[in-house]
Every structure is written in C-alpha cells, then in structure tokens.
Structure 1
Amino acid sequence: MEIVTSKREQNKLRRRASIVEIATRSFLERGYAATSMSAIADELGGSKATLWSHFASKEELFTAVVDDLVARLSIEIEEDLIHDSFSIEGLRRYVLRYLKKLMSDQAIALFRLMIAEGGRFPEIVAVFHARAPGKMHTAAVTFFSTCFKMDEAVKLARLTSAALAGYRSMALTRPLMPDEAEIEGFVDDFIAHLRLPAYRDAQEGSL
C-alpha cells in the first residue's frame, strides 16, 4: 500500500512539474493576459480537472512559476549569502553571481513581463516582489549584518540591489548586451565606489 501511495505522489509531482513547465513557457512568451488556464490544460492533455486540482487560479499558477524560476536563479546566490560572513571577496562573488543571473534569458523575460503587464495586473507584481527582489533583499541584509549594524545592512542591501537592477535596465536599452568582461568591470567599479567605512575602519584597525 505504501508503494502505491508513493507512486501516486510521484506521479502527482511529475504532473505538477509538467504544468509549471508549460505555464512558464506560456507566461514568458505570450504574457500574463494572453495565457489562459484552458490553453494550458489543452497543451497538457487529459482532463481539465487535472489542472484545476493542482492550481485553483491563474494567479496561483503564476505564483508557482515565479517560485520555480526564482529557485533556479537564486539557489547559489542565497547559499553564499546565508552561510558566508561579510568580506570584500564574498561581496564580489555575490554581486557577480546575482548580476549574471539577472542578465539570463529567463530573468530578462520575467522582468519584461512585469514591465509590460504589471500595471494591469498588480497582483503579479506583488507575487514577483515577494518571491524575487524581496527574497534576495532579505538574504543580502543577513549577509551584510554579519559585519554592519542592521540599519546599515539594510541600506547596503538596498543600494546593491538598485545598482544591479539599474545596470540590467541600462543594458537592455543597448544594441548589444555587455559581455562577461564588461560585467566584471562594472562589479569591480561598484564595489570600489561603495562606501563601507565601518568595514574599512575595522580592517585598518586590525593592521
């Protein structure tokens, strides 16, 4: 009986993953408004009741899609932030990884979806912010707080996030996207010009 239950659960998880995969492609290629639960059910095949048994609404399905995308994009970054204490080397590793993830095809497609349809569907903006920028901000604050007071850690996390998002936005207005060397150059310039007085004072005091 346990084996049957296990197989049933595995099939259920595989079915859910298939739904999220189809929905991801539809949301990113067609947009939120043009994606319908009926069309996803048709592409999935089988009974439409199967789709509704996993997701009760399009917003709930979109939430699952964002969760899945963010998990793929942020897992390495979050691990660094959560388990590392602040250092310049750690900061560079985090900023570089985060920016490269922001510049990936899927992250850009999701960003464009927010810009294009966020005004008409504020609920997807709330979902996106909680699952993506909000989640990364919390992890960044934890990282900075290992060296700075909490209010300073919050400011540094906010400035870092704004700088990286701004660089990505600027890159999207250019005819050609920046290559890896240009991205690394920006990261080094950003860190060199980021004011970290508490950290630098502590480092100088230990010499």
Structure 2
Amino acid sequence: MIEATSKRELNKVRRRAMIVEVATRWFLENGYAATSMSAIADEIGGSKATLWSHFASKDELFAAVVDELIGRFSEEISEFLINQTFSITNLKNFLQRFLDRMMDDPSARLFRLVLGEGERFPEIQDLYWERGPATMHEHVSDFYGTAFEPDEARRLARVTIAAITGFRAQLLIAPPDLMQSEAKLFVESLVSHLHFPACEKAQRPSDAS
C-alpha cells in the first residue's frame, strides 16, 4: 500500500514537471495572453481535468513557470559563488557568467515577459524579485563579505547588481552582434570603476593578472 502510494506521488510529481515544461515553452514563445490552458492540455494529452488538478488557474501555472525558471538561474549562479572568496579575478569571472546567464534565451524572454505582464499581475513581479534580484543580492553580499565589512559588502553588492542588470536591459535592445564584445568591455569597466575599501584580502584592479 505504501509502495503504491509512493508510486502515485512520483507519477504526480513527474506529471506536474511535464506540465510546467510545456507551459514554459508556450508562455515564452507566445506570451501570457496568447497562451491558454486548453492549448497546454491538448499538447500534454489526457484529460483537461488532470491539468486543472495540478493548477487551478492560468495565473497559478504562470507563477510556477516563473518560479522554475528563476530557480534554475539562481541555483546556477549561487553554485558558482559558493566557497568563493573575493578577488578581482573571481569578481570578473562571476560578472561575466552572471551576464551570460541573464542574456541566454530563456532568461531574456522571462525578463521581457515579467516586464510586459508585471503591471497586470503584480504577484509575478513580486515572485521574480524575491527569487531573482533579492536572492542574488544576498549571495553577492556574502561573496563581498569574505573581504569587507558587512555594510560595505551590501553596498558593493547593491551597486554591482544594479549596474549589471541595467546593462542587461540595454543589451536587450542592442544589435545582437554587439553583445559579446560589449559585455566583456562592460565587465572590465565596471570592475575598474568600483571603489573597494582598504582590505588585506582585496586586490586593486591594477594588481590583477
């Protein structure tokens, strides 16, 4: 009986994951308004009641898609920062990876989608903020905190994230061929203009190899 229950629960989890995967493609390719629960149900097959048993509304399914995408992004970036201590080299590597991940197709489409639908669905903006920028601020603060006092670490994190997310918004409307070259130049420029308080562990940009 326990084994049968476990198998049903596992199938339920797999079914939900498949629904979110299909819905992700629909929302990112077609936007919120042009995506319907019926279309998603038709693609996954089976009874439409099955879809509604997992998600009571399109809003709820949309929230699950946003949560899944942001969760993947945050996990990948967070893994890069875990056990890393501050150095100019590590900072540059992180910023380049952070920007590359923000500009990949799913992340860029999600950003546009949240901006486009955020006014209509403020809960999506809240979710995006909590799982995205707010969480990332904590991780970057911890990274800077390996070399600087907590207040300085938070200041550096706030400036760093604001700068790179602002640059991402600029790149989204720039010609595609400018992305790679401009991104690398931006990272170099940002690091060279950041003010790092005196600290034994901190290298100045000019000292980096």
TM-score scaled by length of structure 1: 0.87
Q: Tell me by how many angstroms 1:109 deviates.
A: 0.5
Q: Determine the structure 2 residue equivalent to 1:8.
A: 8
Task: Pick closer, same or farther for the CA change 1:61–1:177 going to 2, 3 Å.
Answer: farther
Task: Judge conservation of contact 1:19–1:51 (CA < 8 Å) in 2.
Answer: yes
Which sits farther off after the overlay, 171-180 or 84-93?
Answer: 171-180
Which amino acid letter does the alignment assign opposite residue 104 of structure 1?
Answer: D
Task: Pick closer, same or farther for the CA change 1:62–1:177 going to 2, 3 Å.
Answer: farther
How many residues matched?
204
Q: Tell me by how many angstroms 1:200 deviates.
A: 6.8
Q: Determine the structure 2 residue equivalent to 1:100.
A: 100
Q: Tell me by how many angstroms 1:3 deviates.
A: 4.3
Gaps of 5+ in 2: 205-209
Q: Tell me by how many angstroms 1:19 deviates.
A: 0.4
Q: Counterparts of 1:59 and 1:4 in 2: how far apart (Å)?
A: 32
Q: Determine the structure 2 residue equivalent to 1:26.
A: 26
Q: Tell me by how many angstroms 1:106 deviates.
A: 0.9
Task: Judge conservation of contact 1:74–1:98 (CA < 8 Å) in 2.
Answer: no
Gaps of 5+ in 1: none
Secondary structure of the equivalent of 2:176? coil
Q: Counterparts of 1:131 and 1:202 in 2: how far apart (Å)?
A: 29
Which sits farther off after the overlay, 2-11 or 16-25?
Answer: 2-11
Secondary structure of the equivalent of 2:147? coil
Task: Judge conservation of contact 1:28–1:110 (CA < 8 Å) in 2.
Answer: yes
Q: Determine the structure 2 residue equivalent to 1:151.
A: 151
Task: Pick closer, same or farther for the CA change 1:26–1:181 going to 2, 3 Å.
Answer: same
Task: Judge conservation of contact 1:144–1:156 (CA < 8 Å) in 2.
Answer: yes
Which amino acid letter does the alignment assign opposite residue 55 of structure 1?
Answer: F
Q: Tell me by how many angstroms 1:203 deviates.
A: 5.5
Q: Which runs of 4+ in 1 moved over 6 A?
A: none
Q: Determine the structure 2 residue equivalent to 1:86.
A: 86
How high is the sequence identity, in percent, across the aligned residues? Answer: 54
Corresponding position: 1:160 with 2:175: no
TM-score scaled by length of structure 2: 0.86
CA deviations on 1:169-201 (whole Å, 9 max, x unpaired) are 111222334343432222122111111123379
CA deviations on 1:125-158 (whole Å, 9 max, x unpaired) are 1111112122211211221222222222222111
Report the aligned-residue RMSD: 2.2
Which amino acid letter does the alignment assign opposite residue 169 of structure 1?
Answer: A
Task: Judge conservation of contact 1:102–1:108 (CA < 8 Å) in 2.
Answer: yes
Task: Judge conservation of contact 1:19–1:44 (CA < 8 Å) in 2.
Answer: yes
Q: Determine the structure 2 residue equivalent to 1:124.
A: 124
Which sits farther off after the overlay, 151-160 or 193-202?
Answer: 193-202
Which amino acid letter does the alignment assign opposite residue 56 of structure 1?
Answer: A
Task: Pick closer, same or farther for the CA change 1:44–1:158 going to 2, 3 Å.
Answer: same
Q: Tell me by how many angstroms 1:57 deviates.
A: 2.9
Q: Determine the structure 2 residue equivalent to 1:185.
A: 185
Secondary structure of the equivalent of 1:132? helix
Q: Counterparts of 2:40 and 2:163 in 1: how far apart (Å)?
A: 37
Task: Pick closer, same or farther for the CA change 1:4–1:36 going to 2, 3 Å.
Answer: same
